Structure 1
Amino acid sequence: MKHIFGTLLVLTVLVITIASCKKLALQKDYDYKASVYSSKINQSLWDFMNTRSDLFSSLVDALNYVDPNATGIKKTYMTPDAGTTYLLLTNSALTDITNANSYWYKNLRYSADSAKWVLHGSDWSQYNKDTITEVLKYHVLKGDYSLRNVGGVPIWAPTYALSTTNDSAYINLQLTPDRNAFFYINAYTGSPTGNTKARTPDLHLNGGVIVHVLDTYMQEPPRSAIHN
């Protein structure tokens, strides 16, 4: 008898529950609006650099120092060709002497007092203009090298520093073939900068210009690395 009563009680509760569920309104379709991340920046390269002085004031200063009349490398930054790729160097990459990978940290100045190359840089005028010009040209790539066409296989891209007297001015590029998809620059075996990844990769500016922002300046590879 107790078993029959228990069974009836369970059935009663089940019926009530089902009846209650029928009264609940079904969830309506949610009007979901998909969005796509855009890396497009509606500025010219030169305007972008100058409006972000917190990042690129050192780069602008270096260009003004080596090419004040904008007839050479500075002109390349002010009026870039479409489809050109720029590795924009931040203040950290160039003049921050607390960064062991910055240009001023790695390239010592001569101290007359101690007759040694011991001083870190403190002003662009302390450096040879031709040397700085070559550094700046090395960070401009001949062609479109964006996330659309750089894959998991490393490639060597020619730079504006490439010439008949300098056949090693190539940049190594690779997008790691994993879920992180880091954009690496000069991450070849033996690179002095190690596995350097772009701080901000794949920015597309007006005029078909591609930009990858770096916190480390790149150094030209040895010829053996390119052949390997």
Structure 2
Amino acid sequence: MCMKKIFLIMPALLVCVAFTACKKLPLQEGYDYTPSHYDNKLNKSVVDFMKSRPDLFSGMLAAIDYVDTDPAYKDIKPLYAGTGNTFLLLTNNALTELETDTTSFFTRNKIANPADPSKPFSGTSWAQYDKKLVADLLRYHILKGRQDYSTITSKPVWLDTYLTSEANPLAKIYVYMKGDRDGFFYLNNFALFPHTWYLETRPRTPNLQATNAPVHVMDKYLIPPSKAQFDNNK
């Protein structure tokens, strides 16, 4: 009987102590909290954004200027000032980096070595490349229409680029949102792709909104699919 009383008294004491302790502590009436959210608005045009970050885009700006010297490619530079498209902006890592990034355009597109044809070397200037090759690279990284988080879903789609045409129907980009909580979207990440450097390619910084167009910043450049890759991923 005595043991039962002890067991009954102990919970009562604990409740009493807890209640007394709570009474001594005043309720917090307010707290300092500054709400914040990720702002993806650049408040500047695509061109001005690139110019504001030469550490990232000096290579791409130089490529645009390079092809603009040829009347055949005078249409490209104005595209970056226009509306109605989406721009995959390529960083120096994607294009011109030689020290640390073996997947850059300069690294992967070797220049013929006249002294020793067996030892081609990496490019160091856009002037070493054919203007059509550079123009095609730029056109392929401009998507037609608005392509951002408001339109991209988990259903894979082939999107037209400014390189897509009747003569070049495969110059499209395969895009889908990965079905997980991270919300990344991937480009040309499809079956039958042989280049391991290319897999799991996604924007470094997606869904930026310039005043004239959506922008996705890329640390890797993309290449059009083969016919087998395109047919296998319809």
The one-letter amino acid of 1:48's match is: F
Structure with the higher strand share, 1 or 2 = 1
Q: What is aligned with 1:225?
A: 229
User: 1:31 offset after TM fit, Å?
Assistant: 7.2
TM-score (normalised: structure 1): 0.87
Report the count of equivalent residues: 225
Matches within 5 A, 1:34-183: 34-68=35-69, 71-77=74-80, 79-81=81-83, 83-97=84-98, 98-116=100-118, 118-183=120-185
Q: 1:20 to 1:201 in 2, by over 3 A?
A: closer
User: 1:5 offset after TM fit, Å?
Assistant: 11
Q: How far apart, CA to CA, are the structure 1 residues paired with 2:14 and 2:186?
A: 63
Q: How far apart, CA to CA, are the structure 2 residues paired with 1:153 and 1:27?
A: 48
User: 1:16 offset after TM fit, Å?
Assistant: 6.2
TM-score (normalised: structure 2): 0.85
State the Cα deviation string for residues 4-50 of structure 1 (Å, max 9, x = none): 9979x967786566445334323336575643322111010100001
RMSD after superposition: 2.7
State the Cα deviation string for residues 45-84 of structure 1 (Å, max 9, x = none): 100001100000000001111113883211212x222x31
The one-letter amino acid of 1:132's match is: V
Q: 1:87 to 1:13 in 2, by over 3 A?
A: closer
Q: What is aligned with 1:194?
A: 199
Q: 1:30 to 1:110 in 2, by over 3 A?
A: same
SS in 2 for 1:86: strand
> Which 5+ residue runs of structure 2 have no aligned equivalent?
none
Q: How far apart, CA to CA, are the structure 1 residues paired with 2:14 and 2:144?
A: 76
Q: Retained in 2: the 8 A contact 1:198–1:212?
A: yes
Q: How far apart, CA to CA, are the structure 2 residues paired with 1:13 and 1:205?
A: 61
User: 1:168 offset after TM fit, Å?
Assistant: 0.8
